[in-house]
């Protein structure tokens, strides 16, 4: 059996890959593993379970809740809420476990299960591995030890979650949003109630699109992966800015008043300068991945800020932040982590803080984001090659060194083996798009000949 847990929980096509049996079995296994690890010692265990609006979330939630309760865990069902809200509630309600059912920005037929440990933090890799092995062991025949009578878990709807999370978001804001007109694209997803309420209560005039989830339309032509609707709405409404989330609202991308996209790198740059002014950007450092635009790094250097780069994936960003106590990190895709106020990427919080910076400075988002210039970035996927030899091929090393000499200080080369496919990704940045394309094409040819 291949590993069930990926970098962001268990994910697949609902009712095909991610079945009722799998959801139930993993939930029971999680309860047993956490009990075995001493998490439940001395008290009756409690879990928080939430989901995004996907139709499949209805039956998968029922399976997860049944599995946990059958293993003696009391369950608080918080309903449809963003992933960061479920993480937050897991922490503030003193739960031993949080479970979120969502496939984030994926298309509607997919779904996923993500577990949070006590405090709302991502479950440790070794616990995920143990859950998977215990699940497999019992799937093939070993019976579960099941409580009976008063030992079974109780299931309670928890309706205060929306208000608690919204109040948390508003309590974090350094200033109000009065005077701003903002278009919100909720991706017909988990933030469709929370995000408009939070922005309105913070004082903004809001226009919402993509905020009518029906279980089938999540991420469909809208949200952070499809910005055209938001761009058009911002211009048409004469808004100051637009904010887009994905299906579970752990991401945020933005649009300025002209309809231009503001990506995660630019959002990080704007937030970093604001946090430094308030004295909360610890060690004047931002954490991002190696895929961040070189323009982002150059902008931070000009502003006297440091950049720490990690492997691709918000989990690696979070690990680095926690290891050194950094306050701000994220990805170009819009995963932004503000560790003083969230244990995971929080799209609604990010959008609120970005808008607060616009309101505080009286400057447009376009002007604020102008602190960095996005250098042209070309990405070429080279398939059917031996990706394991990327770091050992002398021919490839010579070609990369030559490319770096050609580009100089205003360009960058990154060769990265795919984590899931037999291909190598060639990424080239340069001040000139034609130069970036030419260098990328040359390197792709060398990858083919050297690793083919």
Over the stretch 361-386, which tens digit does the pLDDT of each residue have?
Answer: 999 999 999 999 999 989 999 998 98
CATH number for the region 163-369 comes to: 3.40.120.10
Residue 17 has pLDDT above 70, yes or no: yes
Q: How far is residue 365's CA from residue 359's CA, in Å, rounded to a whole number?
A: 10
Taking the model in full, what pTM does it have?
0.92
Question: Contact at 8 Å (CB) between 53 and 80?
Answer: yes
Percentage of the chain beyond pLDDT 90 is 88
Tokens 């960061």 locate to: 84
Residue 315 has pLDDT above 50, yes or no: yes
- 10-159 sits in which CATH class? alpha beta
| DSSP letters for 403-436 | HHHHHGGG-EEEEEE-SSSSEEEEEEE-SSHHHH
Residue numbering of the annotated binding site:
104, 246, 248, 250
DSSP 121: P
pLDDT value, residue 420: 65
Give whichever of 121-135, 350-364, 409-423 has the largest mean pLDDT.
350-364
Q: Which CATH number fits domain 377-451: 3.40.50.620, 3.40.1350.10, 3.30.310.50, 3.30.1330.10?
A: 3.30.310.50
Q: How far is residue 245's CA from residue 242's CA, in Å, rounded to a whole number?
A: 10
The residues of the chain that CATH labels 3.30.310.50 are 377-451
Mean pLDDT of 127-152: 92
Residue 1 has pLDDT above 50, yes or no: no
pLDDT value, residue 2: 53
Task: Give 190-193's long-range contacts (Cβ < 8 A, gap of 24+).
Answer: 190/50, 190/51, 190/52, 190/53, 190/80, 190/81, 190/82, 190/83, 190/85, 190/102, 190/247, 190/248, 190/249, 191/82, 191/245, 191/249, 191/347, 191/348, 192/53, 192/80, 193/80, 193/162
pLDDT value, residue 141: 78
3-state secondary structure of 336: strand
Q: How far is residue 229's CA from residue 69's CA, in Å, rounded to a whole number?
A: 42
Q: Phi and psi of 325, rounded to 5°?
A: 75, 25
Residue numbering of the annotated binding site for Mg(2+):
104, 246, 248, 250
pLDDT value, residue 108: 96
Task: Select from 428, 415, 440 the least CA-distant residue to 376.
Answer: 428
For residue 104, indicate whether it is catalytic. Answer: yes
3-state secondary structure of 368: helix
3-state secondary structure of 11: strand
Over the stretch 224-267, which tens digit does the pLDDT of each residue have?
Answer: 999 999 999 999 999 999 999 999 999 999 999 999 999 999 99
Percentage of the chain beyond pLDDT 70 is 99
Q: How far is residue 412's CA from residue 427's CA, in Å, rounded to a whole number?
A: 8
Question: Contact at 8 Å (CB) between 238 and 181?
Answer: yes
Catalytic residue, from 56, 104, 192, 195: name it. 104
Widest CA span in the chain: 73
Task: Give 155-160's long-range contacts (Cβ < 8 A, gap of 24+).
Answer: 155/65, 155/69, 155/74, 155/75, 155/77, 156/74, 156/75, 156/76, 156/77, 157/76, 157/77, 157/79, 158/48, 158/76, 158/77, 158/78, 158/79, 158/89, 158/93, 159/79
The residues of the chain that CATH labels 3.40.120.10 are 10-159, 163-369
Residues facing 111 on adjacent strands = 12
Question: Contact at 8 Å (CB) between 327 and 282?
Answer: yes
Tokens coding 59 = 């039956």
Tokens coding 42 = 């001395």
Residue 199 has pLDDT above 70, yes or no: yes
């Amino acid at each position: 059996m291949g590993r069930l847990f990926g970098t962001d929980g268990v994910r697949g096509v609902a009712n095909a890959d991610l079945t009722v049996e799998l959801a139930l079995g993993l939930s029971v296994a999680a309860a047993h593993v956490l009990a075995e690890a001493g998490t439940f010692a001395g008290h009756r265990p409690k879990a928080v379970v939430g989901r995004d609006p996907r139709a499949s979330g209805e039956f998968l939630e029922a399976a997860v809740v049944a599995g946990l309760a059958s293993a003696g865990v009391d369950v608080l069902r918080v309903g449809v809420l963003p992933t960061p809200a479920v993480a937050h509630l897991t922490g503030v309600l003193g739960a031993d476990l949080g479970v979120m059912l969502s496939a984030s920005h994926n298309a509607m037929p997919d779904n996923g299960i993500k577990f949070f440990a006590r405090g709302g933090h991502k479950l440790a890799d070794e616990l995920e591995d143990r859950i998977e092995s215990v699940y497999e062991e019992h799937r093939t025949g070993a019976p579960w030890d099941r409580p009976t009578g008063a030992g079974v878990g109780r299931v309670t709807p928890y309706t205060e979650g929306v208000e608690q999370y919204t109040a948390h978001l508003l309590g974090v804001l350094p200033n109000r949003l009065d005077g701003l007109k903002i278009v919100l694209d909720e991706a017909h997803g988990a933030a469709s109630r929370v995000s408009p309420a939070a922005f309105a209560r913070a004082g903004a005039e809001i226009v919402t699109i993509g905020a009518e989830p029906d279980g089938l339309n999540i991420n469909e032509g809208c949200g952070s992966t499809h910005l055209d609707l938001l761009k058009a709405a911002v211009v048409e409404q004469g808004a100051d800015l637009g904010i887009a989330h994905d299906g579970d609202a752990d991401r945020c991308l933005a649009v300025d008043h002209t309809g231009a996209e503001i990506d995660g790198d630019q959002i990080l740059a704007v937030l970093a300068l604001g946090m430094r002014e308030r004295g909360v950007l610890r060690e004047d450092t931002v954490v991002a991945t190696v895929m961040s635009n070189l323009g982002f790094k150059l902008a931070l250097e000009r502003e006297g800020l440091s950049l720490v780069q990690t492997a691709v994936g918000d989990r690696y960003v979070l690990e680095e932040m926690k290891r050194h106590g950094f306050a701000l990190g994220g990805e170009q895709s819009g995963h932004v982590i503000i560790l003083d106020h969230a244990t995971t990427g929080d799209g609604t919080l990010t959008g609120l803080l970005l808008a607060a910076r616009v309101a505080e400075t009286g400057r447009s988002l376009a002007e604020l984001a102008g602190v960095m210039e996005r250098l042209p970035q070309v990405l070429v996927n080279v398939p059917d090659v031996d990706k394991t030899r990327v770091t050992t091929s002398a021919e490839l090393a010579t070609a990369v060194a030559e490319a770096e000499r050609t580009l100089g200080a205003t360009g960058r080369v990154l060769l990265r083996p795919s984590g899931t496919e037999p291909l190598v990704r060639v990424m080239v940045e340069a001040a000139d798009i034609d130069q970036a394309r030419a260098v990328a094409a040359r390197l792709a040819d060398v990858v083919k000949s050297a690793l083919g």
